[in-house]
Amino acid sequence: MTENSGTEKATHPDTGTAQQSSTPATPGATPADVAARPGPVPKPGAPRPGAPKPGTPTPGARKPQAPTPHEAPKPHAIKHAPGASQEHPHPVVVPTVSDPSRWGRVDDDGTAWVKTAEGDRQIGSWQAGDAAEGLAHFGRRFDDLATEVGLLEARLAAGTDARKTKTAALALAESLPTAAVIGDVDGLARRLQAIAEHSDEAAAQAKEEKERSRHEQTERKENLCAEAEQIANDSTQWKAAGDRLREILDEWKTIRGVDRKVDDALWRRFSKAREAFNRRRGAHFAELDRERAAAKSRKEELCVRAEELSTSTDWAGTASVFRDLLTEWKAAGRAPREADDQLWRRFKNAQDVFFGARNSAASERDAEFEENATAKLELLSSFEHRIAAHLESDLDGARTELRHLQEKWDEIGKVPRERMQELEGRLRGIEKQVRDAADTQWRRTDPEAVARAAQFRERVAQFEEQAAKAQAAGRTRDADKALEQAQQWREWAEAAEGAVTRR
């Protein structure tokens, strides 16, 4: 217990030795408060000014009375927290404040006494204030001790670890004969004895309750295991049995308090039963539906794919896919007769829709393509002469006529495949004529090409001049070399001039 007393000599509740502290006894007072009091601090045993004479009661204090030898201890008030159930209460201890003057005194010389059934017992010495303050101090220490006892009673009432509660009660009971407190010490001793006695009973009851609960929960899981094993071995109601096993699992998860080893063994039983049921159910349905259900499912997929393709206009690609689907249909096997006939009608109808549309589109397309081929022939005959007339003198006009030809060509559309090479070849020929004429005109008028040819001629003249000087100086080898370079540059100049003038 922590105390904020003044300078005192009091017997330690555990060792019985006198200790002295240096803070004022008045609750909340500081050393500065003591220093501010008028007059010196009296010596131990010396009367203080204004202190009551021995035997004179403190004004307003109740007259001391000896405790009745067989008086029952005053119980602590124990309340339950709001919302706490009776099964699992959460008690709240409300400390009671005792009247220390009934149970002891502090003499004028500071000697503190407590009344017990065996007589008055000196508990220590108070030197930090007057007798009333000392009495209040030791009374507060008793109240703290009584609060601890009340907490133990509350823990016992709540069913919290009776063994630890008993140990704490015995420890407090051993400290009472030397406790530096003023209050109903005998009453506390009787309460602590009652706690110790009832703790054994509470511990036995808690153990019995725990064992009973463990037995009940174990029995529940054993019953669930037995039911699961019966389902795994006998039931053929596959859906209902599967649902019940899931319900058993959900209930299993809510059961607590079973011994760990027993719980592990029961869980292995339950898991084994579930696995056996799942294997038996899987084998049953696999054997029952393996062939017919697989064939039906596969043909349903083929019908869906065929119906999706029935509106396709990719005639060649889709026709190839339909051939593949028919091969898969034959390999899928037979579904139940009624389902197989119905599925075949679906598949055949999807095929008929597609191929009927393809045949109709092919007839219309062939007629349209023949008309387009005739129109393109007429278009080529009309523009070939007009473009040729423009190539000699009006290249821009030829280009304009070619653009008109290309625009009208694209507007006409496709032609039969066997006519395509002939018609496209004539169009490419006209485009090449215009392109070649443009290239020729560009070469004749390209300023860079003209300048380049002139530069080549200048280099020819320079090398011929060097050859003449070398010949005059008698350097025949240098003259021959310069003439070779002049010839090379002459050939380049002639090529550049030919590119400009060539048509």
Domain ranges of the chain: 9-209, 211-289, 291-445, 447-501
**Measured between alpha carbons, how far is residue 389 from residues 205, 393, 402, 426, 441 in Å?**
124, 8, 12, 17, 16
Q: What was the pLDDT predicted at 3?
A: 37
- Contact call for residues 290 and 282 (beta carbons, < 8 A): no
- Contact call for residues 343 and 295 (beta carbons, < 8 A): no
Q: What was the pLDDT predicted at 247?
A: 93
Q: What was the pLDDT predicted at 235?
A: 87
Report the predicted TM-score, pTM, of the whole model to 2 decimal places. Answer: 0.33
Q: Which amino acid is at 195?
A: I
Q: What was the pLDDT predicted at 272?
A: 92
Strands laid side by side in the 9-11 sheet: 18-20, 9-11, 119-125, 111-116, 104-106
Q: What is the C-alpha to C-alpha distance for residues 383 and 388, in angstroms, rounded to an integer?
A: 8
Sorted by sequence, the CB contacts under 8 Å of residue 430 that are 6+ apart come out as 380, 383, 384, 387, 402, 405
Only one residue has tokens 């009934």, namely 102
Beta strands 9-11 and 119-125, pairing class: antiparallel
Q: What was the pLDDT predicted at 246?
A: 92
> Can you read off the two tokens belonging to residue 134?
């000392």
Q: Tell me, what DSSP letter sits at residue 164?
A: H
Q: What is the C-alpha to C-alpha distance for residues 391 and 308, in angstroms, rounded to an integer?
A: 55
Sorted by sequence, the CB contacts under 8 Å of residue 466 that are 6+ apart come out as 478, 482
Only one residue has tokens 């703790």, namely 199
CA nearest to 386, candidates 401, 405, 403: 401
In angstroms, the first-to-last Cα distance of the chain is: 123
Q: What was the pLDDT predicted at 35?
A: 28
Q: How far is CA 328 from the centre of its chain?
A: 45
- Contact call for residues 77 and 90 (beta carbons, < 8 A): no
Sorted by sequence, the CB contacts under 8 Å of residue 482 that are 6+ apart come out as 463, 464, 466, 467, 470
Q: What was the pLDDT predicted at 366?
A: 79
CA nearest to 112, candidates 96, 128, 91: 128
Q: What was the pLDDT predicted at 443?
A: 65
Q: What is the C-alpha to C-alpha distance for residues 151 and 142, in angstroms, rounded to an integer?
A: 14
Query: With b meaning 16 or more CB within 10 Å and e meaning fewer, what string describes 79-109?
Result: eeeeeeeeeebebebeeeebebbbbbbbbbb
- 3-class SS of residue 249: helix
Residue 406 belongs to what H/E stretch? Answer: helix 395-412
Please give the chain's pLDDT, 503 residues, in tens: 333 333 333 333 333 333 333 333 333 333 323 322 333 333 333 333 333 333 333 333 333 333 333 333 344 444 444 434 444 444 545 555 568 888 889 888 888 898 888 888 888 888 888 888 888 898 899 989 889 888 988 888 887 777 888 888 888 888 888 888 888 888 888 998 888 888 777 777 777 777 888 888 899 889 999 999 999 898 889 899 999 999 999 999 998 888 899 899 999 999 999 999 999 988 888 877 788 888 888 888 989 999 988 888 888 899 999 899 999 998 888 788 888 899 999 999 999 998 898 888 878 777 888 888 888 888 888 887 777 777 777 777 778 877 888 888 888 888 888 888 888 888 888 888 878 777 776 666 656 666 777 777 788 888 888 888 888 888 888 888 888 888 888 888 777 767 665 54
Only one residue has tokens 């007072």, namely 29
Q: What is the C-alpha to C-alpha distance for residues 502 and 274, in angstroms, rounded to an integer?
A: 96
Q: What is the C-alpha to C-alpha distance for residues 347 and 339, in angstroms, rounded to an integer?
A: 12
- Contact call for residues 21 and 6 (beta carbons, < 8 A): yes
Q: What was the pLDDT predicted at 97?
A: 59
